Chain A
Amino acid sequence: MTDVAINRSTVKRRKRGLARKHSPVKTAAALVLAALLVFFFASPVVWIYWASFKPSASLIGTGTQGLVFTFENYKNVWKNDFGRFMFNSLFICGISVIISTSVAVCASYVLSRYRFAYKKWLFGFLVLTQTFPWIVMMTPLFIMFANLDLINNHFALMFCYVTITLPFSIYLMVGYLEALPRDLDEAALMDGCSRFQTLRHIILPLLAPGIVATATYSFLLMWTEFLLAIALLTKTSLKTLPLGLALFFGEETVDWGAVMAASALTTLPALLLFLPVQSRLVAGLSAGSVKG
């Protein structure tokens, strides 16, 4: 048989050739547009981090210390138990994301790969739950958890977070699974794998971009959730980051420096957790598995 190895240099040359076809004006316009977009989206975040190192007074225009750099806001925030709120958020969101994503992987595998009665109805119902405004469930949920003596219990919030993120997580994951050829599952079954081994050895590694995307969606939704948390957690020591952030807004005065430092600290874990894995979101792992 003829060995026709992929010629990488040819591919690179072709790519360069394609790039050369664009006119310099168009390229410059695209770059300016991209820079504007980056500025538009990044400037509030940059401003938060910049402002978190400024004295509060300078932020509302009354102070004159334009170039003063201070850690005072962070010290202030830390003194107000912000570390505890961060731990609570990490604990609740971490466990909820693991449960939600694990259940979503298994459920979406069944929905994608098995044939059973009323599958379309079940999937439709899952999507339908997303159209239901969950704010209307607040009162019944509060009564239910009060009856179960689960108010001021992290388990209640985890339960809610897993429940509200699951339908869309499953929906997302089914999309990723549908893009993976079924022949791979069948090849694994022929190779002697059970369904679980197929999922573990073949599907999960290929589903990594989908898992990262789904986990990111769930984590960010939980990390910034306010309404359920404020209803179910009243003890200060149990509160999550969004509730902790709200504590800096006094009834009459607001410590804007502390708010900026708390906001910076709130966004930091999400950035640290997901920046390293974001490249996996677009990884084309399934290339070369099937014909072509």
Chain B
Amino acid sequence: MESAILTSKYPALELKNVEKRFDSFVALQGLSFSVPQGAFVAIVGPSGCGKSTLLRLIAGLEATTDGEIWLDSEDVTEASAGERGLAMVFQSYALYPHKTVRENMAFSLKIAKRPKAEIESRVAEAARALQLEALLDRLPKQLSGGQRQRVAIGRAIVRKPKVFLFDEPLSNLDAALRAETRVELAELHQRLAATMIYVTHDQVEAMTLADQIIILNAGEIQQMGTPKELYSEPKNAFVAGFIGSPKMNFVSGAIRDATFESADLSISGLGQFASGASTLGVRPESLMLAEKDKGIGQIEVSIVEYLGDESVIHGRLGDGTPIILREKGSVEFNTGDRVSIDIESIDALHFFSPESGERIVPSPKSPSRG
């Protein structure tokens, strides 16, 4: 399939101080970011954070209240959806029910009055790429969910758009098909080398598919970066808690004399962190079981999930703070058992300001375990 990427020195998409208000409700504010040509960018966030609104603003289905949207070197803020040259795959697929698969895929080209031969060849090309050739004369109601999803993608591919927009395209598929389609989307991105913007509430989808992730909350960008950056250097407690599965553990306490103390935990050797109240953030995979009465503290086991290659242990500290840790292989614990835990490395610890939630950046001093 022909590459849809444009050899342009400009970003594929750029937002400058974009704001969206619905009457007095501010849905999005002060959004500025740019998407390089050929990038796969995922926009993630909890329900109601404004991610779908953001995609609709980019698509031209909603008008911005303020700010500018640029595609390549062109300001498209005032352009209609059709004029922007984008294609969108909807969560509901939005296939035209009275048109066959072929007609669905050819519709945009017919509206653009492309020559018949070109329409036929582009539909055939997309159908071949998505294994839809046998289904071209069927109506959407004669297709399974997965097939409809492929037709929706095919309809987008046929247009050879500047940017592909995906609005939670996998959320209606069952778990097995979702995993399969995720891989296919990644392959499609590689094959087309096209710019893709992908909205999802599933951080696993975002982490596995995207080159860059934008995390939104309450209409504001919390952080934009590579999956690795977001995982290892989250800007604030929200990002830290949103990325990673199971979620990061948070424990309130304070650092005094290079030691973090909470009601049940004590971690020394934190000379690179300033003293004061702080919230400890540690991922389940950075915690491990310790020998009795050793390590950083104890938890009371509430439940153990056995996943084959590993076990996820859910427990609570004495003050009720939930703690999750992942342990390789299987473990034999009963509810109510008290077990000691430890950390793998001080480098894996994050500290956040209890007031602002911002991550406390350690001073550049070589860390040492006390």
- Closest approach, in angstroms, between the C-beta of B354 and any C-beta of chain A? 42
- Chain A interfacial positions (CB closer than 8 Å to B): 1-6, 181, 183-184, 186-194, 197, 201-202, 205-206, 285-292
A288 touching B143, Cβ below 8 Å: yes
Alpha-carbon distance A290/B89, docked complex (angstroms): 12
- A-B contacts, 14 of them at CB < 8 A, read A1-B147, A2-B144, A183-B94, A190-B61, A190-B87, A191-B111, A191-B155, A192-B108, A201-B107, A206-B98, A285-B98, A289-B93, A291-B172, A292-B172
Contact with B144, one of A3, A193, A290 (Cβ below 8 angstroms):
A3
Interface contact B97-A288, CB-CB below 8 Å = yes
Minimum CB–CB distance from A194 to chain B (whole Å) comes to 7
List 14 additional contacts besides A5-B142, A184-B94, A189-B61; criterion CB under 8 Å.
A4-B145, A181-B94, A183-B94, A187-B96, A190-B86, A197-B111, A201-B107, A202-B96, A286-B97, A288-B142, A289-B141, A290-B92, A290-B93, A291-B91
Distance, CA A285 to CA B180, complexed state (A): 31
A194: chain B residues within 8 A (beta carbon): 82
Provide the bound-state CA to CA distance between A96 and B311, in Å.
73
Classify chain B's interface size. 35 or more
Beta-carbon contact of B59 and A288 below 8 Å: no
In the complex, how many angstroms separate the beta carbon of A84 from the nearest chain B beta carbon? 41
Q: Considering only CB atoms, which chain B residue lies closest to A287 in the complex?
A: B141
List B residues 251-309 near A (Cβ within 8 Å): none
B140 at the interface (CB under 8 A from A): yes
- B144 engages A184 (CB within 8 Å): no
Whether A1 lies near B97 (C-beta < 8 A) is: no
B349 contacts chain A at the CB level, 8 A cutoff: no
Say yes or no for B80: interface residue by CB 8 A criterion. Answer: yes
The chain B residue sitting closest to A181, CB to CB, is B92
Inter-chain contact total with CB atoms closer than 8 Å: 114
Known A206-B98, A285-B97, A288-B95: A187·B146 in contact at CB below 8 Å: no
CA distance A20 to B299 in the complex (A): 59
B112 at the interface (CB under 8 A from A): yes
Instruction: Choose among B60, B87, B146, B155 the residue that contacts A4 (Cβ–Cβ < 8 A).
Output: B146
- The interface bits of chain B over 136-176 (1 if a CB of A lies within 8 angstroms of the residue's CB, else 0) are 00011111111110100001000100000000000010000
Nearest 8 Cβ contacts at the A-B interface: A288-B141, A4-B144, A289-B97, A183-B94, A191-B108, A192-B82, A290-B92, A187-B94
Which residues from chain A contact B82 at a C-beta distance below 8 Å? 189-194
Q: Shortest Cβ distance from B106 into chain A, in angstroms?
A: 10
Closest to A291 in B: B172
| Chain B residues near A4 (CB-CB < 8 A) | 144-147
Establish whether residues B147 and A291, one from each chain, have CB atoms under 8 Å apart when the complex forms: no
Verify A183–B147 contact, CB threshold 8 A: no
CA distance A190 to B96 in the complex (A): 13
- Decide: A2 and B87 in contact? CB cutoff 8 A: no
Q: Are A2 and B177 in touch, CB under 8 angstroms?
A: yes
Which one of B86, B94, B143, B150 has the highest number of Cβ atoms from chain A below 10 Å of its Cβ? Answer: B94
Residues from chain B with a CB closer than 8 A to the CB of A6 are 141-142, 144
- Complex CA–CA separation, A64 to B331 (angstroms): 102
Within 8 A of A (CB), among B65-108: 80-82, 86-88, 90-98, 107-108
- The answer to whether residues A291 and B93 also contact, given A186-B61, A191-B82, A192-B111 and a CB cut-off of 8 A, is yes
- Asked whether B131 is an interface residue with its Cβ less than 8 Å from the other chain, the reply is yes
Chain B residues 310 to 348 lying within 8 A of chain A, measured CB to CB, are none
Known A181-B94, A183-B90; judge A288-B140 contact (CB<8 A): yes
A187's nearest neighbour on chain B, judged by CB, is B94
Instruction: Give Cα A250–Cα B159 distance, bound, in whole angstroms.
Output: 72
Q: Which residues of chain A come closer than 8 Å to B88, judged between CB atoms?
A: 186-187, 190
Q: Is B181 an interface residue (CB 8 A)?
A: yes
Q: Is B92 within 8 A of A291, CB to CB?
A: yes
Interface string of B46-58 (1 = CB under 8 A from A): 0000000000000
The answer to whether A288 touches B111, judged by C-beta atoms less than 8 angstroms apart, is no
* Complex CA–CA separation, A197 to B181 (angstroms): 33
Complex Cα distance, B143 from A287, in Å, reads 11
- Which of A191, A286, A289 has the largest count of B CB atoms less than 10 A from its CB? A191
Residues of B within 8 A of A3 (CB): 144, 146-147
**B120 interfacial by beta-carbon distance below 8 Å:** no
B229 within 8 A of A: no
Q: Which residues of A contact B93 (CB under 8 A)?
A: 289-291
Bound together, the chains give a CA A3 to CA B141 distance in angstroms of 14
Determine whether the beta carbon of A5 is less than 8 Å from that of B144. yes
Tell yes or no: B184 within 8 A of A by CB. Answer: yes
Judge whether A192 and B112 touch: CB under 8 Å: yes
Interface centre among A187, A193, A194, A205 (most CB of B within 10 A): A187
Instruction: Please tell me which one of the listed residues B87, B111, B150, B172 contacts residue A193 in the complex, with CB atoms under 8 A apart.
Output: B111
Q: Which residues of B contact A190 (CB under 8 A)?
A: 59, 61, 81-82, 86-88, 108
B58–chain A nearest beta-carbon distance, Å: 11
